[in-house]
Amino acid sequence: MNKGGLDPCKLSRIDRRFRLGFLQIRAERTKVRVVSVPSLARFEEARSRIARHVLATPIVRLRRGRAPAGAGDVARGIGDVPVAEDRLPRDLLLKLESLQVTGSFKARGALSRVLSLSPEALQRGIVTASGGNHGLAVAYAGHVVGAPTTVYLPERTTAEKAARIERWGARVHRAGAVWDDAHAAALEHAARDGLTYVHPFADPDVVAGQGTVALEALEQIPEVDLFIVAIGGGGLAAGVASAVKRKRPEARIIGVEPVGAPTLFESLRAGHVVELPEVRTAAGTLAPRRSDPYVFDILKETLSTIVLVTDDEMRAAARFLLTEVGIGAELSGAAALSAVLSNKADLGGAKHPCVLVCGAGSDALG
């Protein structure tokens, strides 16, 4: 008889969650001790692994003034887009990952991880949590390899993005208000059913996949001396910064976060990973309350600085991309450019700054 009045099944669930949380903490502490910047070979391996399933996305150069449209560097396939001088502080390169498969850079990391799994793991299935873009990328990766795929989304993720995930054959579950809530639910599902959890940023294979963006950009324009990149959980920034430091160590990397979700900014200031009490931004894919020691340790060694931008500044940058370049970018996709247009990013003496337009969408136009 249960004299205390507690349901044994409920106790079992609580115990499972406690053990899962303990294992996460222990794993994170272990990772802090062993993390190092990934090798160039790891990025090259990831690039080879995903090559058949992703696009080599274009770079365009925004030119202030009257440069003829399309002139650019024909040999390297870099076209020029003229922009009125009062609309742009200086010439810029744009790496258009918004034109990537599934609409964002996330396909690179998701495929890098999923294509590394054993046939047995793929047969059991994969699960993930996402604000939207990573879930879409994992759904696509699951479709490529024929793996049963489940994606947990927070309630704030748009119905349109959830429908796109389902079209790739994935099952969608809603859990909680923000990514961290969906993440906890997905981890419990993975532990309960013996599935592989595909983390959106705290995974070496994912980071290596995201870093292929930088390898590609440096092949297209080897003289790039500054990359400006949005930060959500930090996987893209960690991959880009690591790959750049391996290929062009003198180049700088500026990270960009929303004012309402300064996850890495506050962690770097504190000297360790911190959890925000809340997030206040419409850019849902840039809004985890907490990052991870793995990407934190990489970024504290490779990132030059982080700047914070408002939602209105991201919206203005998204409108700029649509009207001046004909590119439909979501808030997160326009975040890096917003740091330049708002004059918050210190370009310093950079002669060839490159902004990563990391995701397509229409949330900035509502």
Per residue in 223-262, pLDDT (tens digit) is 999 999 999 999 999 999 999 999 999 999 999 999 999 9
Contacts of 126 (CB under 8 A, 6+ apart): 114, 117, 138, 141, 142, 147, 148, 149, 150, 195, 196, 197, 198
339 and 254 in contact (C-beta within 8 Å)?
A: yes
Nearest to 125 by CA among 144, 147, 146: 147
Task: Please tell me the least confidently modeled range out of 15-24, 52-61, 239-248, 277-286.
Answer: 15-24
Name 61's bridge partners.
80, 93
DSSP string of 112-131, one letter each residue: HHHTTS-HHHHHH-EEEE-S
- Does the pLDDT at position 277 exceed 70? yes
Q: Where are the domains of the chain?
A: 53-104+204-365
Look at residue 48 in the predicted model and tell me its pLDDT: 97
Query: Roughly how many angstroms between the first and final C-alpha of the chain, as a whole number?
Result: 57
Sequence-separated (6 or more) residues with CB below 8 Å from residue 178: 154, 156, 279, 284, 287, 288, 289
Q: Binning pLDDT at 50, 70 and 90, where does residue 74 land?
A: low
- Contacts of residue 90, Cβ cutoff 8 Å, sequence gap at least 6: 64, 347, 353
pLDDT averaged over every residue in the chain: 89
pTM summary value? 0.86
Bridge partner list, 40? none
What value does the mean pLDDT take over residues 75-102? 88
Using alpha carbons only, give the angle 67, 68, 72 rounded to the nearest 5 degrees.
Answer: 85
- Lowest mean per-residue pLDDT among 21-30, 62-71, 225-234: 21-30
Residue 75 has pLDDT above 70, yes or no: no
31: pLDDT confidence band, cut at 50, 70 and 90?
A: very low
Q: Report whether pLDDT(11) > 60.
A: no
Q: The tokens of 285 are what?
A: 């894919």
CATH architecture assignment, domain 53-104+204-365: 3-Layer(aba) Sandwich (3.40)
How high is the pLDDT of residue 87?
A: 85
Of the pLDDT bands very low, low, confident and very high (cuts 50, 70, 90), residue 94 is very high
Q: How far apart are CA 257 and CA 261, in angstroms?
A: 7
